Amino acid sequence: MENILITGGAGFIGSHVVRLFVKKYPNKNIINLDALTYAGNLENLKDIEGEKNYTFEKADICELEHINFLFKKYAIDSVIHLAAESHVDRSIKDPLAFARTNVMGTLNLLQAAKDNWGDDFTNKLFYHISTDEVYGSLDDKGFFTENSPYDPHSPYSASKASSDHFVRSFYDTYQLPVIISNCSNNYGSYQFPEKLIPLFINNICNKKQLPVYGNGENVRDWLFVEDHARAIDIIFHNGNIGDTYNIGGFNEWKNIDLIKVLIKTVDKVLGNPVGTSDKLINFVKDRKGHDYRYAIDSTKLKEELGWEPSLQFEEGIEKTVKWYLENQDWVKNVTSGDYQNYYKEMYENK
Alpha-carbon distance 350 to 346, whole Å?
A: 7
Alpha-carbon distance 106 to 54, whole Å?
A: 23
- Nearest CA-CA partner of 204 in 193, 215, 214, 217: 193
Q: Which of 212, 231, 263, 295 lies at the binding interface for ligand TDX (CB under 6 A)?
A: 212
Q: Which of 108, 131, 137, 163 lies at the binding interface for ligand TDX (CB under 6 A)?
A: 131
* 309 touches, from ligand TDX, ligand NAD, none (C-beta below 5 to 8 Å by class): none
Count CB-CB contacts under 10 A for residue 96.
10
* 17 touches, from ligand TDX, ligand NAD, none (C-beta below 5 to 8 Å by class): none
- Which residue has the CB atom at the shortest distance from ligand NAD? 11
Interface of this chain with ligand NAD, residues 77 to 106, rule: CB under 6 A: 82-86, 101, 105
Residue 191 in contact with ligand TDX, rule: CB under 6 A: no
* 199 touches, from ligand TDX, ligand NAD, none (C-beta below 5 to 8 Å by class): ligand TDX
Q: Which of 81, 195, 228, 264 lies at the binding interface for ligand TDX (CB under 6 A)?
A: 195
Residue 35 in contact with ligand NAD, rule: CB under 6 A: yes
- Helix, strand or coil for residue 102? helix
Nearer to ligand NAD, 137 or 186 (CB): 186
Residue 185 in contact with ligand TDX, rule: CB under 6 A: yes
336: Cβ–Cβ under 8 A, 6 or more apart, which residues?
none
Residue 248 CB-half CA count within 13 A:
27
- Which residue has the CB atom at the shortest distance from ligand TDX? 131
Which of 133, 146, 221, 252 is the catalytic position? 133
* 156 flagged as catalytic: yes
Alpha-carbon distance 291 to 287, whole Å?
A: 9
Phi, psi of 142 (to 5 degrees): 85, 170
Beta-ladder partners of 165: none
* 217 flagged as catalytic: no
Count CB-CB contacts under 10 A for residue 129.
26
Alpha-carbon distance 214 to 199, whole Å?
A: 17
Nearer to ligand TDX, 114 or 195 (CB): 195
Distance of CA 174 to the CA centre of its chain: 28
What is the chain's length? 350
Residue 211 in contact with ligand TDX, rule: CB under 6 A: yes
Residue 229 in contact with ligand NAD, rule: CB under 6 A: no
Residue 62 in contact with ligand NAD, rule: CB under 6 A: yes
Interface of this chain with ligand TDX, residues 253 to 312, rule: CB under 6 A: 255, 287
- Nearest CA-CA partner of 247 in 204, 309, 202: 309
Q: Which of 9, 21, 108, 133 lies at the binding interface for ligand TDX (CB under 6 A)?
A: 133
Nearer to ligand NAD, 180 or 212 (CB): 180
How are strands ordered across the β-sheet holding 78-81?
54-58, 28-34, 2-7, 78-81, 125-131, 178-183, 244-247
Residue 86 in contact with ligand TDX, rule: CB under 6 A: yes
Q: Which residues are catalytic?
A: 132-133, 156
Binding site for ligand NAD (CB under 6 A): 7-8, 10-14, 34-37, 39-40, 60-62, 82-86, 101, 105, 129, 131, 160, 183, 185-186, 192
